[in-house]
């Protein structure tokens, strides 16, 4: 099936033109089936259904008419052409959702969630988008913003009407209100990193010396034979990429060639690519063979991981150490290497046993998220930036009150904080920002 949607005052005039054989009474929100006719040629186009949804009880808040056709691209193009000839124009990207926002059917954070629902790559990302679409973020931000607006109004009244008998609020009370707002902003920002990971995913690099089981672990994580596995060291000569979901986190997973000293030109290129992958990874999985002692050939991989441990990274790089082949007799003492690398997680794994990588999955999920899942997660980068600006302004306002700064100066910071929060819900937003948000939408939304 395919749907052609129209929105606006003209929508209610289209049913009689496109379905002339049906009686004129089109009740709102009732699907009707009939022969769809081209009004110009009087030729039948399709056996279709139409539905009128009268505003404000529609997605956009305006009168809406939808034509539900068979999914042939030719049929849909013909229907679109008929609507354009009847006086409609082509919708701009995201215009239906933009109209829903402008007509107060959705606030701005909910409108952005529509795109997040469409683009969700995992169940966790979808759940995050659906929660935002339900309005949970607005429910937490609006009361704080309204409190700030009230505080701002009192401050400005104290400054503008100093000669009137306006009961002053104590500095301690005003500061307490601002600090309460700052605590809520901090609570929302605590899960900011997790929100980005759940929405955009993380990069996982599987590294180690040759033949420690890196490819076997990748296959076990994927649940399929993606990488070739043999007892011959150096089977993987290049990086192999796949996308997978681990504990709700989307990973771009890269199985690298074994990092080792080599004179082989091809193997050397693979080692260099492995080291480059380490630089770009959000999570590094270093694999060791638990069934043999630590050897000199393990040192290049350990040194490569050590060299990137203290480098700055956008979201903070985390290291998981997998003691692999735990189904075999243990001969490795990992204590010195653990003390040297200080991994965030150390787990035992076996790629050949049922549930042999369950602990590894948990560790990777926590490494990507930076710990256990937060209850409140803000996954939108724009929202996070607005929250950080609000937090900075609130902190400056509290400091100003503590330092005895005049109220008219403190009020600038309070106004900035309220404005930043209003940008999230759309209560303070300009046309340029709206254009930037909705231009990424598809035409149908």
Give domain status of residue 140, yes or no: yes
In a domain, 105, yes or no: no
Of 26, 57, 90, the last residue of a domain is 90
- Which domain CATH number covers 365? 3.40.50.300
- Residue 107 within a domain: no
79 and 151 both lie in a single domain: no
Q: Answer whether residue 347 is part of any domain.
A: yes
Q: Is residue 408 part of a domain?
A: yes
pTM of the model: 0.72
- Tell me the mean pLDDT in the region 193-203: 80
Q: Which two tokens stand for residue 133?
A: 């679409």
Q: Are 218 and 123 contained in the same domain?
A: no
**pLDDT(168) > 60:** no
The overall average pLDDT reported for the chain is 83
Whether 254 and 353 share a structural domain: yes
pLDDT for residue 430 is more than 80: no
- pLDDT (0 to 100) of residue 127: 83
* Cβ neighbours of 180 (radius 10 Å): 12
**Rounded-to-integer distance, Cα 46 and Cα 73, Å:** 12
Residue, of 427 and 48, whose pLDDT is higher: 48
* Assigned domain for 148 exists: yes
Task: Report the pLDDT value the prediction gives residue 132, as an integer from 0 to 100.
Answer: 87
Q: Does residue 106 lie within any of the structural domains? A: no
> CB–CB of 281/262 below 8 Å?
no
Instruction: State which of 369, 391, 406 marks the end of a domain.
Output: 369
Q: Which pLDDT value is given to residue 396?
A: 93
Q: pLDDT at position 120, please?
A: 80
**Number of alpha helices (DSSP H) and beta strands (DSSP E) in the chain:** 16, 10
Q: What is the pLDDT of residue 193?
A: 79
Mean pLDDT of 152-164: 67
Task: Say if residue 295 is in the same domain as residue 358.
Answer: yes
Confidence of residue 118 (pLDDT cuts 50, 70, 90): confident
User: Is 361 within 8 Å of 247 (Cβ atoms)?
Assistant: yes
Domain with 353 in it:
200-369
Do 208 and 290 reside in the same domain of the chain? yes
Q: Are residues 149 and 62 in the same domain?
A: no
- Count the domains in the chain: 3
Q: Are residues 235 and 331 in the same domain?
A: yes
pLDDT digits (tens, 9 = 90+) for 237-254: 445 777 888 877 888 888
Shared-domain flag, residues 185 and 204: no
118: domain CATH number is: 1.20.120.430
pLDDT over 50 at 421, yes or no: yes
Which of the pair, 106 or 377, is modelled with greater confidence? Answer: 106
CA angle 200/272/264 to nearest 5° reads 145
Judgement on whether residues 187 and 204 belong to the same structural domain of the protein:
no
Looking up residue 83, the CATH number of its domain turns out to be 3.30.1360.120
One domain for residues 227 and 340: yes
Q: Is residue 101 part of a domain?
A: no
- Please give the full DSSP string across 101-156, using - where no structure is assigned: HHTTSS-HHHHHHHHHHHH--SHHHHHHHHHHHTTHHHHHHHHHHHHHHHHHHHHH
The string of pLDDT tens digits covering residues 363-394 is 998 888 877 777 678 878 889 999 999 999 99
- 415 φ/ψ angles, rounded to the nearest 5 degrees: -65, -40
Last residue of a domain, one of 316, 334, 369: 369
Per mean pLDDT, which range of 11-15, 45-49, 308-312 is the poorest?
308-312
Q: Is 330 in the same domain as 291? A: yes
**8 and 61 housed in the same domain:** yes
pLDDT of 208 reads: 84
């Amino acid at each position: 099936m395919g749907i052609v949607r129209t929105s606006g005052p003209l929508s209610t005039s289209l049913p009689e033109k496109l379905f002339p054989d049906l009686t004129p009474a089109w009740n709102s929100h009732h699907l009707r089936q009939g022969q769809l006719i081209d009004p110009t040629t009087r030729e039948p186009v399709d056996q279709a259904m139409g539905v009128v949804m009268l505003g404000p009880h529609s997605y956009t808040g305006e009168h809406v008419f939808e034509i539900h056709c068979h999914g042939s691209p030719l049929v849909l193009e013909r229907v679109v052409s008929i609507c354009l000839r009847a006086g409609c124009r082509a919708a701009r990207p995201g215009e239906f959702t933009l109209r829903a926002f402008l007509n107060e059917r959705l606030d701005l954070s909910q409108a952005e969630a529509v795109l997040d629902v469409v683009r969700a790559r995992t169940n966790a990302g979808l759940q995050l988008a659906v929660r935002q679409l339900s309005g949970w973020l607005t429910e937490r931000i609006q009361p704080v913003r309204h409190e700030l607006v009230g505080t701002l109004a009192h401050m400005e009244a104290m400054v503008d009407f100093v000669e009137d008998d306006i009961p002053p609020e104590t500095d301690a009370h005003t500061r307490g209100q601002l600090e309460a707002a700052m605590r809520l902003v901090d609570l929302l920002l605590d899960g900011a990193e997790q929100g980005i990971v759940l929405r955009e995913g993380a990069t996982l690099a599987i590294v180690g010396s040759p033949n420690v089981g890196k490819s076997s672990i990748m296959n076990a994580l994927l649940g399929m034979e993606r990488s070739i596995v043999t007892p011959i060291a150096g089977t993987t000569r290049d990086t192999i990429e796949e996308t997978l979901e681990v504990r709700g986190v989307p990973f771009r997973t890269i199985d690298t060639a074994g990092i080792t000293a080599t004179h082989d030109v091809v193997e050397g290129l693979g080692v260099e690519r492995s080291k480059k992958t380490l630089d770009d990874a959000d999570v590094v999985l270093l694999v060791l063979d638990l069934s043999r002692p630590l050897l000199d050939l393990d040192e290049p991989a350990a040194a490569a991981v050590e060299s990137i441990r203290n480098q700055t990274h956008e979201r903070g790089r985390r290291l998981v150490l997998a003691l692999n082949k735990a189904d075999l007799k243990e001969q490795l003492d990992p204590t010195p290497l653990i003390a040297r690398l200080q991994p965030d997680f150390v787990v035992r794994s076996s790629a050949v046993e049922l549930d042999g990588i369950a602990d590894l999955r948990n560790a990777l999920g926590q490494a990507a998220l930076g710990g256990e899942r937060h209850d409140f997660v803000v996954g939108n980068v724009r929202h996070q930036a607005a929250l950080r600006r609000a937090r900075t302004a609130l902190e400056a306002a509290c400091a100003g009150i503590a330092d005895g700064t005049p109220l008219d100066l403190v009020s600038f910071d309070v106004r900035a904080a309220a404005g930043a929060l209003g940008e999230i819900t759309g209560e303070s937003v300009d046309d340029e920002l709206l254009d930037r948000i909705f231009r990424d939408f598809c035409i149908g939304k």
